[in-house]
Amino acid sequence: MYPEHDSFVDCSTIYVRGYAELYESLKNRPEAFLGVLDTKDLRMVRSTIVRSPKIKGRDKKRFGFFAEQ
């Protein structure tokens, strides 16, 4: 299920969360899980992150967000 309203990717700040923390958060609040991004939407989100001037290059490198070749 996707939100029934327009939404956007906010690249102004990176919040680092480990797998265990995310898992516990969703386990405790399953209603927070909105669904799975399809391939097209995931590519759009990734592209937005890659192009963001707000995210430093070292952070993009750390999290594997390089410009697609």
Q: Compute the distance between CA of residue 69 and CA of residue 7 in angstroms, rounded to an integer.
A: 27
Q: Compute the distance between CA of residue 69 and CA of residue 65 in angstroms, rounded to an integer.
A: 12
Residues 8-40: tens digit of each pLDDT: 778 788 788 889 999 999 999 999 888 888 899
**Distance from the Cα of residue 8 to its chain's centroid:** 10
Any residues with CB less than 8 A from the CB of 30 and at least 6 apart, and which? none
Give me the number of domains the chain comprises. Answer: 1
Residues 47-68: tens digit of each pLDDT: 988 988 888 888 888 888 876 5
Is the pLDDT assigned to residue 2 strictly greater than 60? no
Q: Whole domain around residue 4: which residue ranges?
A: 1-69
Whether pTM > 0.85 for this model: the answer is no
Residue matched to tokens 């906010």: 10
